[in-house]
Amino acid sequence: MSVDVVVNENDLAEMVGQVWVSYLDPEGVNPLIPTGDEKQPSEVHSSVSISGSWTGHVVYASSTVAARKAAAAFLAVEADEVSPEDLSDVLGELANIVGGNVKAMLPAGCFLSLPQVVLAPESATKYPNAERISGLYGVWEGEPVSVSMWQSRDSKKEETA
């Protein structure tokens, strides 16, 4: 049986803000600026799945330029030093960190998957049995970045049954 999600857009924004300050912009000079544009393009994305008392996904998506800048900031290297493996590792870690924070706000009995990273647009991976329930959409240094939550439709059916 699935439960109602207790993580709202404000909670998600706060979690992402903490990740930004901790890993990507510790000096506070390049914050993620919310735009609310759900239709912004993404070239790469990573996700973690949550299963158990709540079932769904947390997806981090961005342009390749933003992903490269994030990897450089995360690893404390120059952007031109970021390898494809570094890019993949950091994208997965960002999804994992935010997903772990989301999981911590859910009732007991949830499990977090290993991250999945796709160096292709978010539209390359579909969640046919899930609907987006929350998201933070913005720009970072002029590049699109988003973090969204998707809940399993089966979970929603169980809630209303």
Residue 49 lies in a domain: yes
User: The tokens 């089966």 sit on which residue?
Assistant: 154
pLDDT tens per residue, range 53-89? 899 999 999 999 999 999 999 999 999 999 999 999 9
Q: Range of 117's domain?
A: 9-160
Residue 4 lies in a domain: no
Residue 2 lies in a domain: no
Question: Does residue 39 register a pLDDT over 60?
Answer: yes
| Comparison of pLDDT for 35 and 125, the residue scoring more | 35
Residue 3 lies in a domain: no
Residue 124, domain CATH:
3.40.1550.10
Measure the CA–CA gap between 109 and 131, rounded to whole angstroms.
21
Number of domains making up the chain:
1
Q: Are 103 and 50 in contact (CB under 8 A)?
A: yes
Residue 1 lies in a domain: no
* pTM score: 0.87
Q: Exposed e or buried b for every residue in 115-140, given b needs 16+ CB within 10 A?
A: bbbbeeebeeeebeebeebbbbbbbb
DSSP state of 23: I
Question: Does residue 1 register a pLDDT over 50?
Answer: no
Question: Does residue 122 register a pLDDT over 70?
Answer: no
| Comparison of pLDDT for 120 and 88, the residue scoring more | 88
Chain centroid to CA 38: how far?
13
Per-residue confidence (pLDDT) for residue 141, from 0 to 100:
92
DSSP state of 123: G
